[in-house]
Amino acid sequence: MSGVHATAIIAPGAEIGSNVEIGPYCVIGPHVKIGDGACLRPHVVIDGHTTIGAGCNIFSFACIGSQTQDLKYRGGSSTVDIGERTTLREYVTVNSGTHEGERTVVGAGCHIMAYCHVAHACRVGDGVIMANGATLAGDVRVDDQAVIGGLSGVHQFCRIGRLCMVGGCTKVVKDCPPYMMVDGNPAEVRGLNLIGLERRGVSEDDRNLLKKAYRLLYRKDLPVSQALDEIRNTLGTNEALSHLVDFVATSERGILK
């Protein structure tokens, strides 16, 4: 406990790992677990049934695990889980769930910038970046390695697909398919996230197949179901195509035009 500042308040029952740094005036609730090597800057508040993964870096005035803002909340216990090596910058808020046993999850290796909000029951994957002021309403799912631009707003129950790039100040009201670039108010798909795909090591062959799938979905004026059939029948199958097809086929809100 040598890394805990004398002014920090840690409730009995909290579990603090080894080599954890807890700065001045932090407040840690009784059901909180903090993994090894985590660092809490001054004035961080962590409450509720919250687990902070090893190596996390949480900056001043972040508030993690607090009660949901959902007006349907009637009490009960829910959890917040923050994955290993995730950074939460200043004034980030991550809320607990509305219903008994509900989970709010932020994955490993994420970079959540200042003033971002993750609401109740959201599931944020690994390696996700949210720029300053981006907000997720309740029950949003963000898949691995997606990027959400600053001041963007995502409607409740929407999904943001893997390696999707959402531009700043975007209003997302439907599902954003994987690998796409999305921008506007309301949001529209602008093309493939080719730079992101290349940076993440997606092969040129796979990128070319995704280009063809994009054209069938967005340039051929086909109904979505027919476009998916064309993708299945003419492009073959690989992991990236299968993921795209499965995402679109299971969309409940519908995909962005």
| Claim to verify: residue 124 and residue 42 sit in the same structural domain | yes
Which of 139, 169, 188 terminates a domain? The answer is 139
What local confidence, expressed as pLDDT, does residue 236 receive? Answer: 81
168 near 151, Cβ under 8 Å?
A: yes
Label residues 179-216 b or e (16+ Cβ within 10 Å = b): bbbbbeeebebeebbbebbeeeebeeebeebbeebbeb
What local confidence, expressed as pLDDT, does residue 219 receive? Answer: 93
Q: Are strands 117-118 and 93-95 parallel, antiparallel or unpaired?
A: parallel
In the structure encoding, which two tokens stand for residue 156, read together?
A: 């409740």
Domain of 83, CATH number, reads: 2.160.10.10
What local confidence, expressed as pLDDT, does residue 171 receive? Answer: 98
Is 98 a member of any domain? yes
Please write the tens of the pLDDT for every residue from 145-192. 999 999 999 999 999 999 999 999 999 999 999 999 999 999 999 999
Is 73 a member of any domain? yes
What local confidence, expressed as pLDDT, does residue 2 receive? Answer: 57
In the structure encoding, which two tokens stand for residue 154, read together?
A: 């995502």
249 near 228, Cβ under 8 Å?
A: yes
Its domain, for residue 239, covers 197-249
CB atoms within 10 A of CB 170: 23
| Claim to verify: residue 127 and residue 238 sit in the same structural domain | no
Rounded CA separation 210/189 (Å): 14
What local confidence, expressed as pLDDT, does residue 106 receive? Answer: 98
In the structure encoding, which two tokens stand for residue 37, read together?
A: 């090597």
Is 50 a member of any domain? yes
Across the beta sheet with 33-34, what order do the strands follow? 15-16, 33-34, 49-52, 79-82, 103-106, 123-124, 141-142, 159-160
| Claim to verify: residue 205 and residue 120 sit in the same structural domain | no
| Claim to verify: residue 134 and residue 211 sit in the same structural domain | no
How many domains, the chain? 2
| Claim to verify: residue 115 and residue 204 sit in the same structural domain | no
Rounded CA separation 39/3 (Å): 9
Is 256 a member of any domain? no
Rounded CA separation 35/203 (Å): 36
Which of 96, 114, 139 terminates a domain? The answer is 139
Is 160 a member of any domain? no
The segments of the chain whose pLDDT lies below 70 read 1-2
Which of 110, 139, 168 terminates a domain? The answer is 139
